[in-house]
Amino acid sequence: MSGAPYGYRYIRKTDEVPAAYLVDEAEAGVVRRVYEMYTVEGLSIGEITRRLNTEGVPARKASRWERSVVWGVLRNPAYRGVPPASARPAFLRAHGLCAHSVGGVQLRPASRPATNAPAKSGSRSPCPPW
């Protein structure tokens, strides 16, 4: 795992716990607001950037918000609940799933045999698509 996206904090791996991203509630509120301005209010990325700067909302790495950063927030799959590629194997194991292939990512529940047979009734549903 590398640097955490805006709205998250990276927690380093220790002997006791694996590396993880934790939600930073203050920044997460900004992310939710950016999505609301974009999807509900219909504001442009430029207008969202202007509002964040006018209101003094702190950017993480710079003194002010840039359009590219707002665009990056809107495009980042982390905000849809998709783990980063490097975290997917651990994420899958933690949820009782396994990757059948890498790259094209055909996923199946860990308890399901690696065949093309349909899943038995009552078995887990396939992983979320990513």
Query: Which residue range is the domain that position 101 belongs to?
Result: 87-130
Dist CA 76 CA 121 (whole Å): 35
Within 8 A by CB and 6+ apart from 41, the residues are none
| Per-residue model confidence as pLDDT tens digits over 41-84 | 999 999 999 999 999 999 988 899 999 999 999 998 877 766 66
> For residue 29, what are the β-bridge partners?
none
94 and 68 belong to one structural domain: no
Taking residues 18-23, what's their average pLDDT?
A: 83
50 and 98 belong to one structural domain: no
Q: Indicate whether 19 belongs to any domain.
A: yes
- Give the number of C-alpha atoms closer than 13 A to the C-alpha of residue 78, restricted to the C-beta side: 23
Domains in the chain, number = 2
| 99, amino acid identity | A
Residue-averaged pLDDT of the chain:
74
Q: Where are the alpha helices (DSSP H) in 1-130?
A: 25-39, 45-54, 67-75, 88-94
126 and 98 belong to one structural domain: yes
Q: Indicate whether 95 belongs to any domain.
A: yes
Confidence check: pLDDT of 101 > 70: no
pTM score, two decimals?
0.60
Answer with the one of 80, 103, 120 that is the final residue of a domain.
80
